[in-house]
Structure 1
């Protein structure tokens, strides 16, 4: 009986870990950051903001007025980064999500 309980507990624990990993993966996205910043007036940022694309097929850059924690931006380079979003610990002006760098995939000198 104890071994059945132990096995069941192990299965439940693994299911919980798997479910947590799925949630994290669902909130991760890849962004292409442009070599120049744009001028934005957004909820979380005023002034210079990132210019982003969510895929290589996207032709126009979009304004991205959220800071990305852990990302060290330098003008003149195009970046491909992976970020995750999570609930903000201290929401600012109604913005409930924050962006955190997961990894920098590439950094290329702009042409």
Structure 2
């Protein structure tokens, strides 16, 4: 009988102990409009990119390896969301799982990403200010901002690679893989490759897309391919 009398106290103590092992806070994130490749522990996957900065256009985006319960990711849209972060009891968390549980409270803001304006296929018209006269084997660039990929041809070889970071005016490319053919005239392909490797910023005006180096000099100019 003594044990039964003390049972409510034991249960209460257990509940209090359990509550004391968790911590919950509320945070606000901007979620980027595209997922990127990441190493999720069990192999390659795609991860959200998030920032707690309100200046999302110039933010340093971080990979987000966990799941946000109740959140619906939409490619091409920036979303500002409020979430609860619940720190779980480490004794009850599997070794390969997150110790924090994320739950969506609400979507505060959603807007189409302005970077989608350059999500297209482009043909080169100028390299370092010089107009390309030839209409054969013109270098091209395909920008896929939803998959954060770039691909095309330099006029001889095909290339493909990652877009590491992009905002409303700056762009950073990752490693670029290319075929290794030798064509009869390598002047344009070589000039294109050299200019491409100096790209720092961009500007789109109508159907024209220009890229600039760190000094602000235009290195490549493209027109939209119909």
Tell me the TM-score range normalised by the shorter chain: 0.5 to 0.7
Given the superposition, is the C-alpha separation of residues 45 and 54 from structure 1 closer, same or farther in structure 2, using an over 3 Å criterion? farther
Rounded to whole Å, the distance in 2 between the matches of 1:62 and 1:87 is: 20
Match of 1:91 in 2: 93
Q: CA deviation at 1:87?
A: 4.0
TM-score (norm 2): 0.35
User: Any unmatched runs of 5+ in structure 1?
Assistant: 1-22
Rounded to whole Å, the distance in 1 between the matches of 2:101 and 2:112 is: 27
Match of 2:75 in 1: 75
CA deviations over 1:61-92 (Å, ceiling 9, x no partner): 11011110000111000000001012459634
Match of 1:39 in 2: 37
User: Does 2:52 align with 1:54?
Assistant: yes
Q: CA deviation at 1:60?
A: 1.7
Rounded to whole Å, the distance in 1 between the matches of 2:97 and 2:26 is: 21
Given the superposition, is the C-alpha separation of residues 50 and 44 from structure 1 closer, same or farther in structure 2, using an over 3 Å criterion? farther
If each structure's helix is expressed as a fraction of its own residues, which one has the higher value? 1
Match of 2:65 in 1: 65
Picking from 104, 109, 112, the partner of 1:101 is 104
Larger Cα-atom Rg:
2
Match of 1:29 in 2: 27
Match of 2:129 in 1: none
Give the alignment's Cα RMSD to 1 decimal.
2.4
Between 1 and 2, higher relative CO (CA 8 Å, sep ≥ 6) is seen in 1
Higher mean C-alpha deviation, range 37-46 or range 75-84: 37-46
TM-score (norm 1): 0.67
Contact 2:66 2:98 in 1 (8 A): no
Given the superposition, is the C-alpha separation of residues 83 and 43 from structure 1 closer, same or farther in structure 2, using an over 3 Å criterion? farther
CA deviations over 1:7-54 (Å, ceiling 9, x no partner): xxxxxxxxxxxxxxxx75xx1000000000011113589511111111
